[in-house]
Amino acid sequence: MFNKLSNYLQSVRFEETLFSLPFAFVGAILPKSSFPGLETTFLIIVSMVGARTFGMVANRVIDSKIDSLNPRTLNRHLPKGLIHRNELICLGLIGLVCLFFAAWQLNYLSLILSPIAAVYLAIYPFSKRFTWLSSFVLGWALAIAPAGGWIAVTGTFSFETLLLSTGVAFWAIAFDTIYHTQDREFYIKHGLYSFAQKFGLKRSFIISKIFDSVAILSFVSLGVVMGLSNFYYLGCLLASIGILLRY
């Protein structure tokens, strides 16, 4: 049972779900400059874990055939048969229920937007089959986290929400552009699309730097619009250094 649970968690990259929680809580803390209450915090965590789990399950199930052909991904749990497809689908449905329940408990706007977020997360895996802009689809999927946190505590969507989400989106787009350079030959051979497949490796890294610049500009602009303190800009500086180090 422990091994089965471990396979489930590894298959949906549960550690990455935990890693994405800070994005949601940045969105939840900034509007009121304070940490949300315990109930709201719990519901944000439930919704984030649910949404992320559903999205990862959709990715794994929809891409299972591609993963079984790609040398980099053929050892994933579903292609190796360590997890049955139906088991993974059940896990994804549980995640979906958690998302909808938490959104219902938070506020009306969260509830209304939750099905749209779920559909978007399910659509992402198909994008690489049709467009080299698939990294954009992923980036805005990750941008749901800060927007969701913001809406969870305010019940509204604002220009500030858009700036924050844009920063996270372009940071993720830049990262995903680099990530897919390792699959360029596989994508060309199997008719899949990415920036690397379209523009080559060297240009993809240049494009990624442009996206990172947009992300940094978005975060700085958010600070200006909201009149945030110098500590925020120090955080932007440290984050910018961290981003540059990956090159």
Q: Using pLDDT thresholds of 50, 70 and 90, give the confidence band for residue 57.
A: very high
CB 205 within 8 A of CB 247: yes
201-228 residue pLDDT tens: 999 999 999 999 999 999 999 999 999 9
Helix (H) or strand (E) holding 136: helix 134-142
| 214-216-217-221 Cα dihedral, nearest 10 degrees | 140
Residues 68-81: tens digit of each pLDDT: 999 998 888 888 88
What pLDDT does 1 receive?
Answer: 65
**Backbone phi and psi for residue 75, each to the nearest 5 degrees, phi listed first:** -95, 5
**Does the pLDDT at position 234 exceed 80?**
yes
Give the span between the Cα atoms of 41 and 47, in whole angstroms: 10
Asked if pLDDT for residue 167 goes beyond 80, the answer is yes
Residue 16: predicted pLDDT = 77
The pLDDT mean for the chain works out to 92
Question: What pLDDT sits at residue 40?
Answer: 95
pLDDT score of 92: 94
Check whether 20 has a pLDDT greater than 90.
no
Residue 120 confidence (pLDDT) above 80: yes
pLDDT, residue 8, reads: 78
The better pLDDT of the pair 4, 11 is held by 11
Residue 96, token pair as written in the block: 């979906």
Between 11 and 29, name the one with better pLDDT.
29
Quick check: 64 pLDDT over 70? yes
Stated pTM of the model: 0.90
Q: What is the pLDDT of residue 122?
A: 94
Regarding predicted confidence, which is higher, 80 or 62?
Answer: 62
Check residue 155 and give its pLDDT: 94
Residues above pLDDT 90, as percent of the chain:
77
With a cut of 90, say whether residue 33 has pLDDT above it: no
110 touches 151 (CB < 8 A): yes
The rounded percent of the chain whose pLDDT value lies above 70 is 99
How far is residue 152's CA from residue 107's CA, in Å, rounded to a whole number?
A: 7
Give pLDDT tens digits for 80-104. 888 888 989 999 999 999 999 999 9
Q: How many helices (H) and strands (E) does the chain have?
A: 14, 0
Res 190: pLDDT: 93
Instruction: Name 157's Cβ contacts closer than 8 Å, sequence gap at least 6.
Output: 109, 147, 150, 151
